[in-house]
Chains A and B, each alone.
Chain A
Amino acid sequence: MNQLLAAGDGGSSGGLHFPPIESLLEWPGFLFEGNTFLELNKVGVIYLFAMVAPLVIFTLAIRKSALVPRGVQTVAESSVGFVRENVVMQTMGPDGMKFMPFLLSLFFFIFFANITEVIPFIQFPANSRMAAPAFLAILVWVVFNAVGIKSQGFFSYFKNTVIPPGVPGALLPLVAVIEFVSTFLVRPFSLAVRLFANMLAGHLLLVTFAVLCENLWAKNILVSIIWAPFIVLIGLTGFEILVAFLQAFIFTILTAVYIGGALHPEH
């Protein structure tokens, strides 16, 4: 508190001290320090959590599976039902069911790596570091191209992707270039940037209002009568829970759309 006060008094921006962005996003390693491959920091631990949490949920749900679901089994079954009805069936139809495990694990991994944004004492969305979104986007890129090549053959997949049906001949070169760029270059880029930037923006938003609250509390106890930043912070926390869920959903559904497009070419 004293530190904040001192920094606040000496700060240039009207006494308000905003932490430098490095201290919000970069975490020092605390396990296996110095080891290039094993060193773990907060982000890595969150990713491990995001990997283990779905495993635990589904293992628990399967172990005591009953006809009438209760407790954790309800959570597991309703989330599987959600992904099946809202992602797979809406975009790919029944023959997309074989991608269900991939999409479900993608959804859960992203959701659990996002939701740490609002969990007290963790409060960091692991997906606000570019590494994992970029890796997931490359993974999705590889998967939908592989599916397209497997189901249509290399040349006809390429032709169907780059040349949409019903384009007049004069426009063909332009359209082909645009389609090529948008399918093979912009898709993975926007997929990664969408997830990363949403989580980073949410994190910075929460930090901004938390800093405002803390400064108002620390400066003068009377100022804390102004509750506005605190109320906004609570509202934003609720909003960020929604965003964490929505981004996982959007990433999954876009993956399903891309795989569906590769599976069935447009006619």
Chain B
Amino acid sequence: MIDLLAQADTAVDGLKAVGAGLGYGLAAIGPGVGIGLVVGNAITAMARQPESAGMVRTTMFLGIAFTEALALIGFVVFILLNFA
């Protein structure tokens, strides 16, 4: 019985690790694509209108910050699952 319980415990730990790894990987997909879109379009805008580069850069950082938040929440979940 105790053996079984111990086994179940290890299994839960293993599943936690798998879930943490997969969770972070999945959480990084969307923001990766999103940041690519944001920066790519910002570069297009800067190349077309170099005089507006300052404003575009500020807006780009804002866009990156909002998009990145999701990936970072994924990272926090990873830390929580693994270490908390």
Contacts and interface: CB of A to CB of B under 8 A. Distances in A.
B49 to A, nearest CB: 16
Given A197-B75, A197-B76, A246 B61 contact: yes
Interface stretch (B2-10, B12-20, B40-48, B65-73): B65-73
Interface stretch (A37-45, A71-79, A247-255): A247-255
Interface residues of A, number: 19
Given A197-B76, A249-B61, A257-B62, A90 B54 contact: yes
Contacts of B72: 193-194, 197-198, 201
B75 A201 contact: yes
A46 interface: no
Contacts of B65: 194, 250, 253-254
A194 B61 contact: no
Report the interface size class on chain B: 10 to 19
B54 A194 contact: no
A253 B76 contact: no
B69 A194 contact: yes
B78 to A, nearest CB: 10
A21 interface: yes
B73 A91 contact: no
Interface in B7-60: 54-55, 58
A86 interface: yes
Contacts of B58: 86, 90-91, 253
Contacts of A249: 61
B27 to A, nearest CB: 11
B79 A200 contact: yes
24 contacts: A21-B79, A21-B83, A86-B54, A86-B58, A193-B69, A193-B76, A194-B65, A194-B68, A194-B69, A196-B76, A197-B72, A197-B73, A197-B75, A198-B72, A200-B75, A200-B79, A201-B72, A250-B61, A250-B62, A250-B64, A253-B61, A253-B62, A253-B65, A254-B62
Interface of B: 54-55, 58, 61-62, 64-66, 68-69, 72-73, 75-76, 79, 83
Task: Return the 4 tightest CB-CB contacts between A and B, nearest first.
Answer: A197-B72, A190-B69, A90-B58, A250-B65
